């Protein structure tokens, strides 16, 4: 589901990947403060749809059109209030178990 389609809905777990400045809010919104604020509202709506867990992520390096690029975290990552843990792989088993336990309590 897209961020736009999440309004008014909820989910047990929400994943928001791609929180890099070049993706979200993106260079096409940056010249327009109103569009940057709209992107912030979309992120807020997406985060608040989660009932048990919300997983936000960004990549430090990304391959775009065959070129390896260094990416900057989205400006919104500083205001979400949680830690961003550097990883080279997925969740640890204990993290998965905690999310599953939170979902089961719903």
What pLDDT score does 14 carry?
93
pTM: 0.84
Q: What's the pLDDT score for residue 75?
A: 94
Q: How far apart are the first and last CA of the chain?
A: 21
Tally the domains of the chain: 1
Tens of pLDDT, residues 68-103: 999 999 999 999 888 888 888 899 999 999 999 999
Stronger pLDDT, 2 or 49, i.e. the higher one: 49
Tens digits of per-residue pLDDT, 19-52? 999 999 999 999 999 999 999 999 999 999 999 9
Residue spans of beta strands (DSSP E) within the chain:
11-16, 50-56, 61-64, 67-70
Supply the CATH number for residue 100's domain.
Answer: 3.30.160.800
CA distance 58 to 23: 10
Asked whether the predicted pLDDT for residue 5 surpasses 90, the reply is no
Count of residues making up the chain: 106
Domain that holds residue 83: 4-104
- The answer to whether 14 and 42 have CB atoms below 8 angstroms apart is no
């Amino acid at each position: 589901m897209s961020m736009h389609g999440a309004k008014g809905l909820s989910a047990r777990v929400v994943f928001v990947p791609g929180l890099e400045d070049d993706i979200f809010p993106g260079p096409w919104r940056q010249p327009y403060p109103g569009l940057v604020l709209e992107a912030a509202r979309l992120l807020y709506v997406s985060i608040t749809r989660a009932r048990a867990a919300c997983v936000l992520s960004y990549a430090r390096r990304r391959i775009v059109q065959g070129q390896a690029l260094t990416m900057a975290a989205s400006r919104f990552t500083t205001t979400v209030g949680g830690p961003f843990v550097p990883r080279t792989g997925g969740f640890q088993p204990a993290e998965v178990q905690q999310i599953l336990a939170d979902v089961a309590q719903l």
